[in-house]
Chain A
């Protein structure tokens, strides 16, 4: 599914260091390293080393620069996402596809640097409402709309006598007796929220950007806001926006747990209750091991005759065709799972390098419903 960036002058001509700074804000080193290894390029000593090598004029530098510009393009719509799924009826899609053929991106402040994020000062005044920045055409008649917005979070800093004697002396004068000072600073990040239409799969994915550190917001409200922003561009989405609730993914939790572990599917984290009411957590430190194959877990589950009630799980996926990988998190609150009608209207997909990984992860989950 990975494709070359279209004629996007900003990404093609931006300084490599700027592209990589933007990527580092959003992407784990593990994914970058895996991409390099898959191309037989030595990962080297972290981001700074990689930028230095990519800026060199030699053939390796040119290759690294080209690879990461493409990777960045793919990653704009991938990484870590809060996802809600909706059915896409054929008749609704027919109308939406007509509107898509004439829909266009309007100029906004985000377009001055898209797909790179705006600078920190520019983000302080940029729209907090999701603003359409790209309509991406994919194989299989699929489309993606990418909406940018400015999102803020508070970063905290703790000052103590030992590490900041001058500040703490001033604090002591103003408000005597305090030994620690916690300061908050408002930080801004650019979010790249995505709505994907996959008509052959009969599905719409509402995928909020969770890539930047500190991103902490009301996901339900922002998902609805994203649908509303989409409706402004594609009015035919109205039956989905107003008439549907997202797919309930709750049933997939136990179905996945009951499935067999395989080279494609490994459960690496789970919380569950047993017939005694005990709350348990089982977590593997490596994505290569399935908790269900772990001795203590397996024997414990056998000891309670498999009467286990799973409330959440994280799955590490290795897709065979087309190749790729991602992790999915289906997690409910204990109170919810204890109620009469438990449901789960969203999931998290993370460590996804490209859209194809997000799409496959969603398809895998839906198959368990």
Chain B
């Protein structure tokens, strides 16, 4: 798939709404920084402000949810555990599953009822969008 084709696909879903504008801004951000590997939700909210989009707090959530989906899989989801002393631990997929489903702390091996409060998601570009942008750069 080419970048134009992807943008047409996203446009077909959102039309000329702010969702489309934010999707384009996210893709352009990835194009500008192909090595980006950590984008928290606040980065997308900031991006919406930078592009003078609606202040609707759910805008970035809607867009990110869509870009993580099967239709236009631009973003992957990662998660990290941030303890009260600000120690950060990146969760692997199975650790995240056990943490969410069973409240199993990945470092202590004990059930932790408040674990979910310290798990934070972030996003990073998928191989799908990296391939598309690499092809675009070759043009």
Contact = CB atoms under 8 A, between A and B. Distances in A.
Q: Do A and B come from one complex?
A: yes
Contacts of A32: 109
Nearest to B108: A29
Interface stretch (B6-14, B20-28, B98-106): B98-106
Contacts of A283: 88
Given A285-B88, A285-B89, A295-B35, A30 B98 contact: no
A45 B98 contact: yes
A47 B111 CA distance: 9
A48 interface: yes
A346 to B, nearest CB: 23
B90 A24 contact: no
A309 interface: no
A45 B95 CA distance: 10
A47 B89 contact: no
A286 interface: yes
B78 to A, nearest CB: 10
27 contacts: A28-B107, A28-B108, A28-B109, A29-B105, A29-B106, A29-B107, A29-B110, A30-B106, A30-B107, A32-B109, A33-B109, A45-B111, A46-B104, A46-B105, A46-B109, A46-B110, A46-B111, A47-B110, A48-B110, A48-B111, A50-B109, A283-B88, A285-B80, A285-B88, A285-B89, A286-B90, A295-B33
Interface of A: 24, 28-30, 32-33, 45-48, 50, 283, 285-286, 295
Interface string B32-51: 01010000000000000000
Contacts of B111: 45-46, 48
Interface of B: 33, 35, 80, 88-90, 98, 102, 104-111
Contacts, number: 37
Given A29-B107, A46-B108, A47-B109, 17 more contacts: A28-B107, A28-B108, A28-B109, A29-B105, A29-B109, A30-B107, A33-B109, A45-B98, A45-B102, A45-B104, A46-B105, A46-B109, A46-B111, A47-B110, A48-B111, A283-B88, A285-B89
A50 B104 CA distance: 13
Contacts of A28: 107-109
Contacts of A45: 98, 102, 104, 111
A45 B102 CA distance: 8
Contacts of A24: 109
In this complex, the member of B98, B107, B109, B111 whose beta carbon has the largest number of chain A beta carbons within 10 angstroms is: B109
Nearest to B92: A286
A41 to B, nearest CB: 14
Nearest to B88: A285
A235 B133 CA distance: 70
A46 B9 CA distance: 44
A285 B90 contact: yes
B13 to A, nearest CB: 32
In this complex, the member of A33, A285, A286 whose beta carbon has the largest number of chain B beta carbons within 10 angstroms is: A285
Contacts of B104: 45-46
A283 B107 CA distance: 18
Contacts of A33: 109
Contacts of A50: 109
A112 to B, nearest CB: 28
A30 B90 CA distance: 13
A28 B80 CA distance: 18
Contacts of A30: 106-107
A48 B106 CA distance: 14
A48 B107 CA distance: 14
In this complex, the member of A28, A29, A32, A295 whose beta carbon has the largest number of chain B beta carbons within 10 angstroms is: A29
A29 B89 CA distance: 13
Nearest to A24: B109
A326 to B, nearest CB: 17
Nearest to B94: A43
Contacts of A295: 33, 35
Nearest to B87: A285
Nearest to A288: B90
